Amino acid sequence: MEKERYIFRAEDDTDFMPIIPMNEQDGDQDNDLVIPNDLPILPLRNTVLFPGVVLPITVGRDKSIKAVSDVYKADKLIGVIAQKDASIEEPDPKDLCRIGTVAKIVKLIKMPDGGTTIIIQGKKRFEWLEMTSDDPYFKASIQLFTEADAPDTDDFKAYVSTIKDLASQIIHLSPNLPTEASIILKNIENPAFLINFVSSNLNSDLQEKQSLLEINDINDRAIRLVHILQRELQFAELKDKVTNKTRTELDKQQKDYFLQQQLKSIKEELGGESNDREIAEMKKKAESKKWPDTSKNAFKTGIQKLERMHVSTPDYSVVYNHLDLMLDLPWDEYTADNYDLKNAQKILDIDHYGMAKIKSRILEYLAVLKLKGDMKSPILCFLGPPGIGKTSLGKSIAHAIGRKYARLSFGGLHDESEIRGHRKTYIGAMPGRILQNIRKVKSSNPVMILDEIDKIGSDHRGDPSSALLEVLDPEQNHTFYDNYLELEYDLSKVLFIATANNLQNIQPALRDRLEIIDLSGYAVEEKMEIAKRHLIPKQKEAHGLGKINFKINDKVLEKVVEHYTRESGVRELDRQLASIMRYQAKEMATKNKVKLQLTAPDIEKILGHPRYSNEIYKTANMPGVVVGLAWTYVGGDILFIETSLSEGKGVELKLTGNLGNVMKESATTALSYIQANAKKLGIDPELFKTKNIHVHVPEGAVPKDGPSAGITMLTSLTSAFTGRKVKPFLAMTGEITLRGQVLPVGGIKEKVLAAKRAGLKEIVLCYLNQKDVDEIDKGFIKGMHFQYVKTMQQVIDYALV
DSSP labels for 513-530?
Answer: TSEEEE-PPPPHHHHHHH
Q: Is 751 a catalytic residue?
A: yes
User: Phi/psi at 349 (nearest 5 deg)?
Assistant: -70, -35
Helices (H), 55-144: 62-73
CA–CA–CA angle 267, 272, 273 (5° rounding) = 65
Q: Say if CB 465 and CB 507 are below 8 A apart.
A: yes
Q: Say if CB 387 and CB 527 are below 8 A apart.
A: no
Closest CA to 206 of 43, 335, 347: 43
Q: Is residue 5 packed enough to be buried (19+ CB in 10 Å), middle (13-18) or exposed (0-12)?
A: middle
CA–CA–CA angle 631, 635, 639 (5° rounding) = 50
- State how far the Cα of 719 lies from the Cα of 668, in Å rounded to an integer: 16
**Cβ-Cβ contacts under 8 Å for 227 (sequence gap 6 or more):** none
- State how far the Cα of 587 lies from the Cα of 581, in Å rounded to an integer: 10
Q: Which residues pair with 383 in a beta bridge?
A: 500, 518
Q: Say if CB 524 and CB 567 are below 8 A apart.
A: no
Sign of the torsion formed by the C-alpha atoms of 756, 761, 765 and 767: positive
- Of the listed 63, 123, 540, 751, which one is catalytic? 751
DSSP labels for 409-438?
Answer: E-TT---THHHH---TTSTT----HHHHHH
The letter for the amino acid at 50 is: F
Q: Say if CB 512 and CB 473 are below 8 A apart.
A: no
Question: From its phi and psi, is residue 740 left (phi > 0), alpha (psi between -120 and 50) or beta?
Answer: left
- State how far the Cα of 576 lies from the Cα of 583, in Å rounded to an integer: 11
SS3 per-residue string spanning 312-380: CCHHHHHHHHHHHHHHHCCCCCCCCCCCCHHHHHHHHHHHCCCCHHHHHHHHHHHHHHHHHCCCCCCCE
Q: Edge-to-edge strand order for the sheet containing 495-500? A: 405-409, 447-451, 495-500, 380-383, 515-518
Closest CA to 566 of 393, 390, 750, 382: 750
User: Residue 283 is inside which H or E element, if any?
Assistant: helix 274-287
274-287 helix and 314-328 helix, angle to the nearest 10 degrees: 30
The letter for the amino acid at 26 is: D
- Of the listed 708, 716, 719, 749, which one is catalytic? 708
Catalytic residues: 708, 751
